[in-house]
Amino acid sequence: MSITARVLLADSDSRRCDLLQKHLRALGCVLHLETDGHLAQQHLLLSPPDLAILDVALPTLTGIEISRRVRDQGSTLPLMLLCRSDRYSERVAALDAGADEALPFPFALEEFTARIRALLRRSRMGANDADGSQLIHRDLIVNTDERVVSRAGLSLKLTVKEYELLLYLLRHKEQVLSRHQILTAVWGDTWVGDDNLLDVYIRYLRKKIERPDLETLIHTVRGVGFMLQ
């Protein structure tokens, strides 16, 4: 099945870049290639793609720095970062910077493709959510038609994955959800068993929706998972 999407591939590893660009073009993607971080960021600002795939070690401006700047601007653009190793610290740094995926190289092209499909699918589902409804819990409001999230009147900027995670918790509020339930529902076929990913994103959500002067909404259920209450 082809992938119809505009993709920015910014990679300074020439061998990997050559492999991935051939694969992405074979899938039907329209590619823009960069090997420099500043040029990649400039392209993101001037002509935002459907998906950005960034090398964590880009020269002049790393993929992690680009991700952080993109998120600071409030963008929910799907971001995949390509790590240079399978070190957990590098993957966590990429996720902390706002990446939706942090994929260590080498990887199977089948997994790479599945993760891209999942990112694009969730992004498009969110952009085209047609029910026009509002999900409300206490002072938390999510407009699923416009993908607008607010709490206590303050607008919140969430990444694609943060939004999907919050939506799942909100649609199952007052229910204790196991870690496996959440990972399967939110990450689907891109989840490969590393449940530390869930802890990272729960931490992201808490930083954005919880404040000392407000009631706690996301609760940890020890030994089980989490619930929105």
Domain range list for the chain: 6-127, 134-228
| Confidence band of 126 (pLDDT split at 50, 70, 90) | low
Compute the C-alpha angle 145/188/126, nearest 5°: 10
Asked if pLDDT for residue 153 goes beyond 60, the answer is yes
**Domain 134-228 adopts which CATH fold?**
Arc Repressor Mutant, subunit A (1.10.10)
Whether 6-127 and 134-228 share one fold: the answer is no
Burial of 176-192, coded b for 16+ CB within 10 Å and e otherwise, reads ebebebbbebbbeebbe
Burial of 106 (0-12, 13-18, 19+ CB in 10 A): exposed
Window from 73-77, 81-85, 215-219 with minimum mean pLDDT: 73-77
Q: Rounded to the nearest 5°, which phi and psi values hold at 143? A: -90, 105
Q: CA–CA separation, 79 vs 31, rounded Å?
A: 15
Through-space distance between the first and last CA atoms of the chain, rounded to whole angstroms: 40
| Confidence band of 131 (pLDDT split at 50, 70, 90) | very low
pLDDT tens-place string over residues 20-62: 999 999 999 999 999 999 999 999 988 889 999 999 999 999 9
pLDDT tens-place string over residues 77-121: 899 999 987 778 888 889 889 898 999 988 999 999 998 988 888
**CATH number of this structure's domain 6-127, picked from the four choices 3.30.70.2190, 3.40.50.150, 3.40.50.2300, 3.20.20.120:** 3.40.50.2300
Enclosing H/E stretch for 15: helix 14-27
pLDDT at 32: 95
Q: CA–CA separation, 192 vs 101, rounded Å?
A: 12
Q: Which residues contact 120 (CB under 8 A, 6 or more apart)?
A: 3, 5, 50, 51, 78
pLDDT tens-place string over residues 186-210: 887 556 666 788 999 999 999 999 9
Asked if pLDDT for residue 17 goes beyond 80, the answer is yes
Mean pLDDT over the full length of the chain: 87
